[in-house]
Amino acid sequence: MDIVTLIKIEQNNNPRVALYHNIANAIAKGISTHVLNSGMLLPTHRNLAHALGVTVGTISRAYAETSRRQLTIGITGRGTYINAPSQNVDILLEGGKIYDLSFISPFEYLNPSLDKALKKIATKSDLSLLMRYHEPRGLLHHREAGAKWASRFGVRVGANSVLVSAGAQHALLVLLSSLFQVGDKIVAEPLTYPLLKQLSNRLCLNLVPAAMDQAGILPEALEALCKAGDIKGLYLMPSCQSPTLAQIPDYRRHELVAICRKYDVLIIEDDVYALSLEKSPEPLINLAPERSFFIASTSEALSGGLRVAYICVPDAFYSDVEQAIGYTVSMAAPLMAELASFWIEDGTADDVLWKKREEAAMRNVLARRILDGFALETRSTGFFAWLKLPKPWNNTNFTEIAMKKGLRLANSSHFALPSITPEPAIRLSLGGLSDKEELSKALNIIAEILHGHI
């Protein structure tokens, strides 16, 4: 069955739906039923319009809709292609007996003792207070602990500029929904956090890629986009970018802030992996506190099940962000916030973070030794690595053969914005496998594939 037939069937079944929506829906169904496969070239706008007897504008609108849904990729000068299906590499999925290096699980076996903490909390806190409704912003002593935790990232902020959210993912949803309107343009790295793509798609926000190098987004690329269009926001992981590990240096941060001020662009600083490093440059929120929003997560450092993150916001936006928390989860769970506060205040958080950095250092040495000779990007205490694939490997054939050998990997296509065709590369989580021997086996399988021994 060809695409024209798929579209005609969809239109016959749903005659009251706008044609461009039916075209997009037909393509979505064709992908889900494997009639349309990844990498397939679709007809040109003109040819498909002629086949369906409609205007070229209708096809352009339909292809724009499929691009927004990440069903297709348009490549200038080459045409429109069916997009590769993207797994949720930043959401833990159950599977068979496999080595999962796709999900960044931050050394959970080094998490602090929950039993000990709960016993101490029970003797020090009024537990009934933690089971009631509170303001969406969170209790004052939880926000005070949040300000203290934010200081670990280098952020200078007081409790009255902090809100408690139900984890970094929730914080991102809250910021995107409270700061931007449907159709707004937000600049991001060409390879970025997959959830940003999913949330922007659902909120009908437009992500615009800005060229980057090993030091992050290029200021001249950001300014060119600001000049060309009405850019409202900038999303960054500036100190330890996932997946590339890029770190924006101090001088470039000042340049980016100056551009954002010039064009009135808001900045979301989602630096969740910054604490995996021993030292990071000055946060952008310190440079532009009037327009920057910082997400200080606890999960990556303390425990994946501790769904608490602190949102540092300018005073002018505090009420809007608080309302968004109220609309989504009413409030972050006070009991979880109390647990996070306890670990932050008694020094447990710092101790656990130190142990995880120490473990990460050993695993980075292991990765560099096993994958020596290949284009592997690491940080001395980073929680993940970035491996560029040599020819003749590409994302599809490498991940497919790796899966056959029991490895689940996250390739660069999972992080690419819809208009981007990324270079073949793999993000390797170093903390998901508790046994270093298992990690060694997994990395050796990758090395054997690269050397052509498999």
3-state SS, residue 139? coil
What CATH architecture is 3-82?
Orthogonal Bundle (1.10)
Spacing of C-alpha 419 from chain mean position: 17
What CATH architecture is 99-110+350-450?
Alpha-Beta Complex (3.90)
**C-beta separation of 66 from 30 below 8 A:** no
Tokens encoding 290: 């009037």
Q: Which CATH class is domain 127-346?
A: alpha beta
**C-beta separation of 233 from 259 below 8 A:** no
Phi-psi region of 373 (alpha: psi -120 to 50; beta: other; left: phi over 0): left
Tokens encoding 428: 């390797």
Alpha helices in 109-263 (DSSP H): 114-124, 140-152, 168-179, 194-202, 219-228, 250-262
Spacing of C-alpha 186 from chain mean position: 14
Per-residue model confidence as pLDDT tens for the chain (454 residues): 788 888 988 888 888 888 998 999 999 888 878 788 766 888 999 999 999 999 999 999 998 888 877 788 776 666 787 875 555 555 544 444 578 899 888 899 899 988 888 888 888 767 888 889 999 999 999 999 999 999 999 999 999 999 999 999 999 999 999 999 999 999 999 999 999 999 998 999 999 999 999 999 999 999 999 999 899 999 999 999 999 999 999 999 999 999 999 999 999 999 999 999 988 999 999 999 999 999 999 988 888 888 999 999 999 999 999 999 999 999 999 999 999 999 999 999 999 999 999 999 999 999 999 999 999 999 999 999 999 999 989 998 899 899 888 899 999 999 999 888 899 999 999 998 888 899 999 999 999 999 886 5
* The predicted structure's pLDDT at residue 352: 94
Ranges of each domain in the chain: 3-82, 99-110+350-450, 127-346
DSSP 391: T
* The predicted structure's pLDDT at residue 88: 56
Residues 6+ away with beta carbon under 8 Å from 451? none
Query: DSSP strand E in 262-349: where?
Result: 266-269, 292-297, 309-312
Omega prior to 314 cis, within 30 of 0: no
* The predicted structure's pLDDT at residue 85: 55
pTM value is: 0.80
Burial (CB < 10 A; 0-12, 13-18, 19+), residue 69, is: middle
> Which CA distances in Å does 142 have to 56, 159, 164, 202, 349?
56, 9, 7, 31, 15
**C-beta separation of 314 from 161 below 8 A:** yes
